[in-house]
Amino acid sequence: MPVITEIEDLKRIYKRRVPKMFYDYAETGSWTEQTFRENSSDFDKLRLRQRIAVDMTGRNTATKMVGQDVSMPVALAPVGLTGMQHADGEILAAKAAEKFGVPFTLSTMSICSIEDVAENTEKPFWFQVYTLKDDDFMRRLVDRAKAANCSALVITVDLQIMGQRHKDLKNGLSAPPKLTLRSMANLATKVPWGLEMLQTKRRFFGNIVGHAKGVSDPASLSSWTAEAFDHSLDWERIKFLRSLWDGPVILKGILDVEDAKMAANVGADAIVVSNHGGRQLDGALSSIRMLSSIVEAVGDKIEVHLDSGIRSGQDVLKAIAMGAKGTYIGRAFVYGLGAMGEKGVTKALETIHKELDTTMALCGRRDVHDLDRSNLLIPKGFEGDWVE
Ligand code: GLV
């Protein structure tokens, strides 16, 4: 196994191993990708305050997210098409997560189905749904998640329509890949990926194909979203969707203080401050810049989590110090998965944990619960000074 010291190492191997279409799907933002880039580069603007001669023995990174124990405040985010990054990808990532003691969130747009993941894991995982217009399909999805013993429902609230990702359109993204001259030329260079893929039966959208009615192209994520998603979504509808689930509900995709206040009123247990990894509204601010004002507005009423841009344990520490109670990694675990399957996801989690733990110690903190803004140097105007 090559020496992996950072998430970037996994990304390099991932890029070599996985078909371009799926690498591009993960590694994209919408339109100019400004928000996608700034999600990460804004983390770099926050600096850390070094402290010395503080007892650093007996450190703790364990905490809770929506009342559930986690070995560090990091969950695996729902990522569509994960089973195209590596054969049986969702099962492998869920296994790595459960062994590490962090939540795995299965996307509705996964390749392995809810049942596939449940049959191959022991601990409950989380399930993510979109805001779909078909009540019947929505109820059946949620019932399947209940039957699979999922322990939280994540409702994505920032994708009624899809932000345009140029690369996906140019590549003709589909699952499984459609065989064109261009895709075949690229697939021919990805032999280990292809051989593993031939050995699994899971190559279609497992939660959708055979379950959703009237889907004109079941291999195309963009045509399914265009047909099935509820363009008329409002807060009443979100309240209704929340009522379908008895356990913890997490609303993912809040980037505005007013929306955060509304979310706190519909009975959600947590919100994820998120711009969907820069894949929806390009030009929106990075999640880390929006975090403080949202925590200030609703942090005493609802648990505030953050995703978008996290590529290291230092990023996790910065988000927690800025007030998040939990974070999510998407691309960072996909790089590991695409590079080396379950072992790669474990490596990504170990890397992030080690970075978090060591950085915490060098900042003079022994417990993740003690992190706060005093551990950071926050540049003036970081949150922006905008005309009202
Ligand atoms: C789906 O949620 C995506 O961002 O592709």
Strand partners, 303: 270
SS3 363: coil
pLDDT computed for residue 52 by the predictor: 96
Ligand 1 atom closest to 25 (CA): 5
Ligand 1 atom closest to 81 (CA): 5
> Which residue lies with its CA nearest to atom 1 of ligand 1?
80
Helix axes 287-298, 34-45, angle to 10 degrees: 70
pLDDT computed for residue 222 by the predictor: 81
pTM above 0.85, yes or no: yes
- The ranges of the chain with pLDDT < 70 are none
Ligand 1 atom closest to 221 (CA): 5
Q: Which two tokens stand for residue 43?
A: 């983390």
Cis peptide, bond prior to residue 176, ω within 30 of zero: yes
Ligand 1 center–CA 109 separation, angstroms: 8
Helix (H) or strand (E) run with residue 58 in it: none
Burial group, residue 57, by CB count within 10 angstroms (0-12, 13-18, 19+): exposed
Ligand 1 center–CA 56 separation, angstroms: 40
Ligand 1 atom closest to 276 (CA): 4
pLDDT computed for residue 216 by the predictor: 77
Ligand 1 center–CA 173 separation, angstroms: 12
> Which residue lies with its CA nearest to atom 2 of ligand 1?
80
Ligand 1 center–CA 147 separation, angstroms: 25
Helix (H) or strand (E) run with residue 69 in it: strand 68-70
Pocket of ligand 1 (CB under 6 A): 80, 109, 159, 276, 279
pLDDT computed for residue 311 by the predictor: 98
Cβ atoms within 10 Å, residue 384: 9
pLDDT computed for residue 218 by the predictor: 77
Note the residue count of the chain: 388
Catalytic entry in 86, 166, 211, 276: 276
pLDDT computed for residue 388 by the predictor: 82
> Which residue lies with its CA nearest to atom 3 of ligand 1?
80
Q: Decide: 168 and 26 in contact? Cβ < 8 Å.
A: no
Residue of 106, 107, 162 to mutate, ligand 1, most atoms within 8 A of C-beta = 162
Ligand 1 center–CA 307 separation, angstroms: 13
Q: Could you give the CA distance from residue 324 to residue 299 in angstroms, rounded to a whole number?
A: 9
Residue of 39, 174, 276 to mutate, ligand 1, most atoms within 8 A of C-beta = 276
Let me know if 166 is a catalytic residue. no
pLDDT computed for residue 224 by the predictor: 83
Q: Could you give the CA distance from residue 215 to residue 338 in angstroms, rounded to a whole number?
A: 28
Q: Could you give the CA distance from residue 220 to residue 357 in angstroms, rounded to a whole number?
A: 41
Ligand 1 center–CA 225 separation, angstroms: 9
Residue of 109, 167, 275 to mutate, ligand 1, most atoms within 8 A of C-beta = 109
